[in-house]
Chains A and B, each alone.
Chain A
Amino acid sequence: MSLSRLREQFRQALADPDLAAPYERATATARAKRAAAAAELPDYEEQRQKAADARREAIDHLDALVERFREAFTRDGGTVHHAADAEEARSLVKRILSERGARTVVKAKSMLSEEIALNEDLIASGWEVHETDLGEFIVQIAGQRPSHITAPALHLDRVDIGRIFHEKLGVDYTEDPVELATIARRLLRERFLQADAGISGANFLVARTGQIVLLENEANIRMCTTLPPLHIAVVGVEKVIAEVDDLGPLLSVIARSATGQKLGAYTSILGAAGPPERHVVLVDNGRRQLAQHPRKREILTCIRCGACLNACPVYERIGGHAYESAYSGPIGALLGPHHLGTDHGRELPFASSLCGACSEVCPVKIDIPELLRLERERYVETGGADVGERLAWWLWSKVMTRPRLYRLLARVGRGILQGPGIIAEGSSVLRDWTDGRKLPIPSSTSFIDQWKHQGGATTRTNPIWDRTRAQRALEATRKAKRSWAASRGRAGRGKDRKP
């Protein structure tokens, strides 16, 4: 995908006059609830910091903690599998299911399973797979994709859902949410009781105790992990945390951030008691590579609460599907270049005005705008930007460091912009601005020229001495980058590193 393709994708989303309304409504509700829930907890900021610290600690010691989890989970009678990528994760799941002769699967919502396209593969290979979270269930029977990481059917209103139920399930049309939920409940209750296996994700894996932590409101996860004789949790390796103690702060912030609840209706911490057969498939899929990066590893601390989506002014306009990735919104834009959830997400970091509304609410304090910017740098370094853009920024840097030349060119530029032809909004060079907005009219003289003309006090720099120093500064910057790139070359492996 190129930037122009991304632009086209977004243009299409924006062309749909009905698209934004459900997103606007739902995110507004979610924002208000989150803010109230955070304000209600007197030590919210302290809990948030502890949650952030716990997640950073975990990513810093990822391999050791994963090993610790494996030991503890095995001690309690479960089996841990490691999958390097999506393909391996899918075949591991299929193998476990086949070996037990399991044919029907009830599934709890899991973003990872979207990332690795598990459902499609299982269904194509002959398994019966039922999503059981109401939102996921709706999206699945409609043949669509989730539009939000915690509210999969956010893009649909009750009329849409009523129609989908009527068409796909053959029930009488109703748009009453209670009736719709009851229909799903009845249908899925049967499936829970008959399923051969339950597949879930996990919110956290506790390394010391080998426990799997799952959060929900509906009780479908409890069903999936209680009723079938086989439970498989398919989990990203980054979900591990060191200690039970870490759960206090994490649980204190996650539901508040996601739905504005103090805690969701059900928090399951699965230990030794449970279905006779328990498996965890730990999926890497680029995560360990990401954990090597001194700054970008922060992306892995995400606890998938969805607060950044609800806060994002971009997500609200274009919705979840326009990202064409399992993960949308600010966190989706960050994961895109790392092939988490999409294979064509290289440009997604540009889908942000860097306003920072996301990091303001992020319960684990991920500096999303700064990380998006780092991804943009990477995009430029690996040849993403076209020649025209590279030339433009090169020229910018040269002109802006030569004040006299800059002032001269600026004067010419202002003159051109004031010229009648261009200001008439017709210029193709400026079309990207002028198609939607009036062009600001420049002043005939700049402020600094006016100031000098009126005898205002000014200061100057010593140009000769400074230029040498500036050159040295630039070289230091380049050197720092080179040494970083070299160390990364040694540590890194896999698809992210270009020769």
Chain B
Amino acid sequence: MIELADSVCSRLGLHKSHREGKIVPASMDRGDRVRIHLFVPCFVDHFAPGVAWASARILQRLGHEVVVPESQTCCGQAGYNSGFHEESVEVATQWVRSFTQADAVVGSSGSCVAFVRNMYPQLFENTPYAEEARRLSERTWELSSFLVDVLGVDELGARYPVRATFHDGCHGLRQLGLGKQARRLLAKVEGLELVEMGRPDLCCGFGGSFSVKLPELSVSMADAKLEEVLATGAEVVIATEPTCLTQIVGRAHKRGLPLRAMHLAEVLDHTGQEAVR
């Protein structure tokens, strides 16, 4: 398996980049066809299947093959951040087992991908999964980073006339260096007017179990974030983090504000044919 992966990678011209500890290809021709394992974060699977569909369609339209490991459940981050280390390793094991054949994994949550990329090597240290976890951690990408950094694509032919603002999910931003890729992609969306917040990187207050352990605090943080969003006059808030979006619009709708949330993938998948959801 590892041999196969390495050969594929060398065909892709993958090399180790020290910048942000990422693996990025030195060059890749547009014609190269990649078999991509779609990482569907549990929240997306049950609450926002449209995000996964959009991600899959975008990759397919670029000529790549998309497969979905059906045994994937959750990356294990939730338990890890709550202090349940062993339980988290157990769940993460399921993820590694599900993706073990993959040469390229693409997921639609910066936070889940950051967990795989940055935490798995350490999580599986000295276990029988150490090698695979390390290998997978280097081959897993968040969608916007895969499109821009790996495939070198920023023009997807999307059209979506709306006034929007972009929220930087904390883990994607600070652990993966995300944000600029999404903005580049959004700049090419026809009709989309991107209005930046004063603090696009302010935490929305979700924080996994934090949101229910200290809910009043979490909601107060969401309000602070909403202030920023509202100040832009945007109708739609866009992010690469499904849970941030749930927190932000969950709060907005509770307050009766007409804000809409869209995952970046959904925006990029808008070719102008379908009706706006």
Contacts and interface: CB of A to CB of B under 8 A. Distances in A.
Establish whether A and B are touching in the complex (CB under 8 Å): yes
Given A447-B53, A476-B126, A476-B127, A356 B171 contact: yes
A401 interface: yes
Given A436-B215, A447-B40, A469-B129, A397 B69 contact: no
A436 B206 CA distance: 12
Given A313-B221, A403-B71, A356 B127 contact: no
B276 to A, nearest CB: 19
B89 A433 contact: no
Interface in A443-482: 443, 445-448, 450-452, 456-461, 466, 469-470, 472-474, 476-478, 480-481
B91 A437 contact: no
Interface in B197-236: 201-203, 205-208, 210-222, 224
Dominant secondary structure of chain A at its interface with chain B = helix
B214 A456 contact: no
B87 interface: yes
B203 to A, nearest CB: 4
Interface in B55-73: 56, 65-73
Interface residues of B, number: 80
Given A352-B210, A436-B222, A461 B216 contact: no
Nearest to B205: A353
Contacts of A456: 56, 66-68
B272 interface: no
A10 interface: yes
Contact of B93 (A379, A457, A470, A481): A470
Interface string A347-388: 000111111110110000000000001001111110011000
A186 interface: no
A16 B123 CA distance: 42
A474 B47 contact: no
A370 to B, nearest CB: 9
A121 interface: no
Given A401-B91, A457-B68, A414 B222 contact: no
Contact of B37 (A359, A373, A401, A459): A459
Contacts of A481: 85-86
A353 B216 contact: no
Given A376-B81, A459-B37, A353 B207 contact: yes
A309 to B, nearest CB: 15
Interface stretch (A67-75, A111-119, A314-322): A314-322
B163 interface: no
B91 A448 contact: no
Contact of B68 (A14, A437, A451): A451
Given A10-B217, A14-B216, A403-B94, A353 B70 contact: no
B214 A438 contact: no
Contacts of A356: 170-171, 174-175
B46 A442 contact: yes
A439 B250 contact: yes
A11 B217 CA distance: 7
A396 B47 CA distance: 18
Contact of B224 (A313, A379, A450): A313
Contacts of B89: 473-474, 477
Contacts of B202: 313
A466 B95 CA distance: 11
A440 interface: yes
B184 interface: no
A433 B216 CA distance: 9
Contacts of A353: 170, 203, 205-208, 210, 218, 221
Interface residues of A, number: 79
A84 interface: no
Contacts of B46: 410, 413-414, 442-443, 446-447
Contacts of B45: 410, 446-448
Nearest to A389: B82
Given A447-B40, A457-B65, A469-B128, A401 B84 contact: no
Interface in B109-126: 124-126
Contacts of B251: 436-438
Interface in A272-322: 313-314, 316-318
A227 interface: no
Interface stretch (B7-15, B97-105, B136-144, B154-162): B97-105
A476 B90 CA distance: 11
Contact of B222 (A352, A399, A437): A437
B44 A397 contact: no
Contacts of A20: 220
Nearest to B219: A436
A393 B126 contact: no
B258 to A, nearest CB: 13
A204 to B, nearest CB: 29
A432 interface: yes
Interface of B: 37, 40, 44-49, 52-53, 56, 65-74, 76, 78-91, 93-94, 97-98, 100-101, 124-129, 170-171, 174-175, 201-203, 205-208, 210-222, 224, 246-247, 249-251, 253-254
6 contacts: A355-B170, A443-B47, A473-B93, A473-B129, A476-B127, A477-B89
Given A355-B174, A397-B86, 10 more contacts: A7-B214, A14-B217, A380-B85, A381-B83, A406-B73, A437-B247, A437-B254, A472-B127, A473-B127, A477-B86
Interface of A: 3, 6-7, 10-11, 14, 20, 313-314, 316-318, 350-357, 359-360, 373, 376-381, 384-385, 389, 393-394, 396-397, 399-401, 403, 406, 410, 413-414, 432-433, 435-443, 445-448, 450-452, 456-461, 466, 469-470, 472-474, 476-478, 480-481
Give the 10 A-B CB pairs with smallest separation, nearest first: A353-B207, A376-B83, A436-B219, A437-B250, A447-B49, A355-B203, A397-B87, A355-B170, A473-B127, A380-B83
